[in-house]
Structure 1
Amino acid sequence: MDTFEFIQIRKFIVKLGKMLHKYGTPAFRLEAYLTEVATYLGVRASFIATPTSITFVIWSDKHEDEYHHAARLQPGEMDMNSLSLTDELANELLSGKRTLAEADKRLSEIDVMPSPYGKVITGCAFGLATAAFAMLMGASWSEIFWSGLLGLVAYIWNLWSLRSKRVALMLEPMTSFAAGLLACAISRYFEPGINIPLIVLSSVIVLVPGLALLMGLSELSSRNMVSGTARVMDALMQLFKLYFGAFLGVAAGFSLFGENLYRPAESLPFWATWLAVFLLCFALVAIFRTRLKHIPWALTSAFIAYGTTAWSSEYLDQGLGTFVGAFALGIFANMFTRIANQPSTIVAMHGLIVLVPGSKTYIGLNSFISGKDFVNAEHVGQEVFLIFMSLVAGLIFANVVVPTKKAL
C-alpha cells in the first residue's frame, strides 16, 4: 500500500465515522463497524467513541504510515434515512462497485441531504406522536387533542433551536415551560378539569431521553464505560431540565390562571391502545426519517415488541414481559438485517420507543419531588430500573440466538 492510497483510505474512514456519529450510532456499534470497514480496506485501526468525540488511530500493516485524529462533535440525532444510505454506500465500496473517490463524494452528498419528509410533515408527526402517546397513557379525547396541539408548539421550539444556539441550549426547559403555561391557560379558558401534568408530559415526550438512557445502559453493558456513563448522565440532565421547565411553567400558570381541579374522564376503549401504538410509530417514521421502503418493517417491529410484551405480561411480571418483548424485537431486527442487508437499528428503534420507560422515569421524578402521582403508577422507580435491565438483557440474548451480520 503506497502513501497516497493510505491517505485516501484514512480520509474516507474519518468522514464515515463522523457521519455515523452524527446519525446517533451508539459507541460500541460505531467502533465495531469502523473496525470492519478498516479491515476490508486493508488497514489496521483503533477507535474510541463517546457521545461528544471520536478518536481515530489508523496505520498500515507494517506501520509504514500512521495517522491520529481526534474530533470534538455534538451528540448525534436519529436519522435512519442517512444511516441507511451511508451503509449502502459502504457496501458498494467494499464490493468494488464504487471507488474511494466516488464513495467520498457520495458521503458529502448524503451529509447535506435534508429530511425526505420536509418541515410540514415532520411538524404534523410531532403533533401526532404526542397525541398518540396521550392516548397510550389513557387520556381523554379532549386531552389527546390538546396534547397534539402542544406537540406542534414543541416542534416550533425545535425548529427555532436549529437557528439559534441560545435556544438550543435551553430547548428542553423552555419547551416544557411553554407546555406547562399553555396547559394551565387551556384549563382556565377552554377545558376545566384536564390532567395538566399528563398533557405536559405528552407534549414533550419526543424530547424525553428514554432512548438515550437505554443506549447508555447498552454501552455500559458492552463495557464502553466512558461513552455509556456520559450518555446516561446527559440523558439524566435532559430529564431534569424537562421536569424543571414543566414544574416552573405549571407553577407560573397556576399563579396567572388559578389552580386546576382535575376531574378523571371516562376510560378509552381497548382498541385505542393498539391504535395509539400504530399512530405513535407511524409518526416516528418522519421524526426518525425512516426510508419509505422500511416503513412496513418499522411498523411491524413496533407491533411485535408491544404485542409480545402485552401477551407475556399476562403470565409473567411486567419486567420479565418486557424482556420477552425486547428478545422478540431483537430477533426480528436481526432477521431484517439478514434479509434487507441494512442496519438492524433502522427497525429496532421503532420497537424500542414503545418499550422504553422514558415516560415512567419522568413520572417517577415527579412523584419523588411532589409526592403526587398524575397517573396510576405504584413502585414506578423499581419498575423503571427492572424494565431498563430487561430491555438490555433481551437484546443481548437476541444477538446470541440470532447473531446480526452487521455491527450497526
Structure 2
Amino acid sequence: MIVSFGDATTRTSEVQLVRCNQGLNLWKLHQVHSIYKLVIHDLMSVEEANSGIDAILAQKNLYPPWVCVLLYGFCSSMVTPFAFSGDWINMATSFFIGTCVGCLQFIVSQRSNLYSNVFEVTASIVVSFCGRALGSIPKSNICFGATVQGSLALILPGYIILCGSLELQSRNIVAGAVRMFYAIIYSLFLGFGITLGAALFGWLYHDATNETTCAKHVSPWFRFIFVPAFSIGLALINQARWTQIPVMTFISCCGYVVTYFSGLHFKNSTEFTSAMAAFIIGILGNFYSRIWKGLAVSAMLPGIFVQVPSGVASQSSLLAGVQSANEITNSSSSSEAATADLSSSMSFGITMIQVSIGISVGLFASTLFVYPFGKKKTGLFTL
C-alpha cells in the first residue's frame, strides 16, 4: 500500500510503502475521516485521535467473509444484464461463477499470502475456462461473453483508478502514477488469464463456443432495478453501513444515467463518456461533502466502480483474448496472427488507460467546479 504525506510548510511530500494487505472498509474510512476533521478543527488532541484510530482498527468488519462471498455472486449477477447485455440465464451462471471468485478472494487469498500475488490471473483463468465450458453446452443459451465479464466485473481495478486519480489531483505524482500504472498492468493480467483459460478449454474441446455477444437481452427498463442493486451490493462488500448506502446509491445511479445516454450519443468513445459520468459523480460527491459535511470519497466509490465495467463493456476489450485463444489452439504462426494476438492482448490495457483518463479528467473538473479556490480547512478530495 502506498501512502503519501504532504508537508504544507516545506511544500514537499513523502511517499511511504506499507507492506500489508490492502483493502477497503467504507465505514472505518468514515470514522477515521470524522476523527481527522475533529483534529483539524482543534476539537480533539492528537493523543485522543491515536487512541480512537487504534480502537477503529481493532473493530471487526461489519459483514463476515461468507456474507461477502454471497454478495459477490449477487453483484456479478446484477452487473451482467446492464453492463454486458446478458439475459436471465446468464445472471444465474454469473452468480455461480462469481461466488467461486468471491471464495478465492475472501477466503483462499486471505489465508495465503503467496496465492494473493497470483489471485487475479488464477481467477480470470477459472472464470474464462468455466464460462466457455458452460457456453459450449448445446442449446443452453448461456452467453460466454456476458458470463465471463460479469463474473470478473468486481475485480476490475476501479478502486485503484480512483485512488490514482485523487493522488494525481493532490499533486502526489509518484503515488498516483504508480497506482495508474499498476491498474494497467493489473488489467493485462486479467486479459492474459482470460486468454489462457479460453485456450485451455479450446484445446480440450474443439467445438468450444466463440460467441462473445448475446442473442437475447433483458429489457432496458430492468436497469432501474439492476443498477441500484449492484451499487448496494458493492457498498456492502466494501463494508459500508446502511446509513451510508442511500447517498452512495443515488450518486452511482446518476453517474450511470449519464454513462448510458452519453454512450448512446457518443458511441465507442470510452474516455469521453467516463469523463462526463465522473464529472457528475464528482459534483454530487463534493456537494455532499460541502453541504452535509460527509466524506466525498466514500460516497463516490460505488459510482466509480459502476463506471469501470461500463467503460470496458463499451469496447468489449475484456474478451479480446478469445481470438488469441483460438489462434493458440489452432497453432497459427503467421505474421498476421502474431500481430492480431499482440493487439488483442493489449486492447484491455488500452481500454483501462482510456477509462482512467476519463475518470481523472472528470474528477478534476468537478472539483474545480465545486471548489474553484480550493479548501482552506481540510484536505481536498483525498484519501
User: Which digits, 9 at most, give the CA deviation of each residue in 1:29-62, with x for residues without a partner?
Assistant: x545xx58xx8xxxx895323xxxx1xxxxxxxx
The alignment's C-alpha RMSD in Å is 3.3
**Matches for 1:2-401 after TM superposition, within 5 Å:** 31=5, 35=7, 47-49=13-15, 54=16, 72-74=18-20, 76-136=22-82, 137-158=84-105, 159-187=107-135, 192-217=140-165, 219-220=167-168, 223-261=171-209, 262=211, 264-313=214-263, 318=269, 319-356=271-308, 359-360=312-313, 363-364=316-317, 366-367=319-320, 370=323, 386-401=354-369
**Does the C-alpha gap of structure 1 residues 110 and 361 become closer, same or farther in structure 2, counting only changes over 3 Å?**
farther
Q: Distance in 1 between matches of 2:167 and 2:158?
A: 14
**SS of 1:204 mapped into structure 2:** helix
**SS of 1:292 mapped into structure 2:** coil
User: Which digits, 9 at most, give the CA deviation of each residue in 1:280-319, with x for residues without a partner?
Assistant: 1011111222222111100000111112333445566655
**Does the C-alpha gap of structure 1 residues 237 and 112 become closer, same or farther in structure 2, counting only changes over 3 Å?**
farther
**Does the C-alpha gap of structure 1 residues 212 and 191 become closer, same or farther in structure 2, counting only changes over 3 Å?**
farther
Q: Distance in 2 between matches of 1:390 and 1:248?
A: 30
**Does the C-alpha gap of structure 1 residues 151 and 221 become closer, same or farther in structure 2, counting only changes over 3 Å?**
same
Kindly state the Cα deviation for residue 232 of structure 1 after the two structures are TM-superposed: 2.3
**Does the C-alpha gap of structure 1 residues 290 and 99 become closer, same or farther in structure 2, counting only changes over 3 Å?**
same
Aligned residue-pair number: 349
Q: Distance in 1 between matches of 2:320 and 2:231?
A: 28
User: Which digits, 9 at most, give the CA deviation of each residue in 1:209-249, with x for residues without a partner?
Assistant: 14423543554465433223321222222222222222222
Query: What is the letter of the counterpart of residue 81 of structure 2?
Result: M
Between the aligned residues of both structures, percent identity stands at 19
Q: Distance in 2 between matches of 1:149 and 1:355?
A: 23
Kindly state the Cα deviation for residue 360 of structure 1 after the two structures are TM-superposed: 4.6
Kindly state the Cα deviation for residue 391 of structure 1 after the two structures are TM-superposed: 2.4
Any conservation in 2 of the 1:360–1:384 contact (CA below 8 Å)?
A: no
Q: Distance in 1 between matches of 2:299 and 2:256?
A: 14
Any conservation in 1 of the 2:312–2:318 contact (CA below 8 Å)?
A: no
Kindly state the Cα deviation for residue 269 of structure 1 after the two structures are TM-superposed: 0.6
Query: What is the letter of the counterpart of residue 155 of structure 1?
Result: G
Query: What is the letter of the counterpart of residue 66 of structure 2?
Result: V
Q: Distance in 1 between matches of 2:171 and 2:321?
A: 30
Any conservation in 2 of the 1:121–1:286 contact (CA below 8 Å)?
A: no
Kindly state the Cα deviation for residue 162 of structure 1 after the two structures are TM-superposed: 0.7
Query: What is the letter of the counterpart of residue 195 of structure 1?
Result: C
**Does the C-alpha gap of structure 1 residues 340 and 279 become closer, same or farther in structure 2, counting only changes over 3 Å?**
same
Q: Distance in 2 between matches of 1:81 and 1:179?
A: 30
Q: Does 1:402 align with 2:370?
A: yes
Kindly state the Cα deviation for residue 161 of structure 1 after the two structures are TM-superposed: 0.6
**Does the C-alpha gap of structure 1 residues 207 and 313 become closer, same or farther in structure 2, counting only changes over 3 Å?**
closer
**Does the C-alpha gap of structure 1 residues 90 and 278 become closer, same or farther in structure 2, counting only changes over 3 Å?**
same
Kindly state the Cα deviation for residue 321 of structure 1 after the two structures are TM-superposed: 4.2
**Does the C-alpha gap of structure 1 residues 332 and 209 become closer, same or farther in structure 2, counting only changes over 3 Å?**
same
Which structure is richer in relative contact order (CA contacts within 8 A, separation 6 or more)?
2
Q: Distance in 1 between matches of 2:350 and 2:304?
A: 19
Task: Specify the structure having the higher radius of gyration (Cα).
Answer: 1
**Does the C-alpha gap of structure 1 residues 386 and 191 become closer, same or farther in structure 2, counting only changes over 3 Å?**
same
Kindly state the Cα deviation for residue 99 of structure 1 after the two structures are TM-superposed: 3.7
Unaligned residue ranges in structure 2 (runs of 5+):
327-339, 341-346
TM-score (norm. length: structure 2)? 0.79
Kindly state the Cα deviation for residue 121 of structure 1 after the two structures are TM-superposed: 2.4
Q: Distance in 2 between matches of 1:142 and 1:163?
A: 33
**Does the C-alpha gap of structure 1 residues 94 and 214 become closer, same or farther in structure 2, counting only changes over 3 Å?**
closer
Kindly state the Cα deviation for residue 74 of structure 1 after the two structures are TM-superposed: 3.9
**SS of 2:243 mapped into structure 1:** helix
Q: Distance in 1 between matches of 2:139 and 2:293?
A: 50
Q: In structure 1, what is the equivalent of residue 334 of structure 2?
A: none
TM-score (norm. length: structure 1)? 0.74
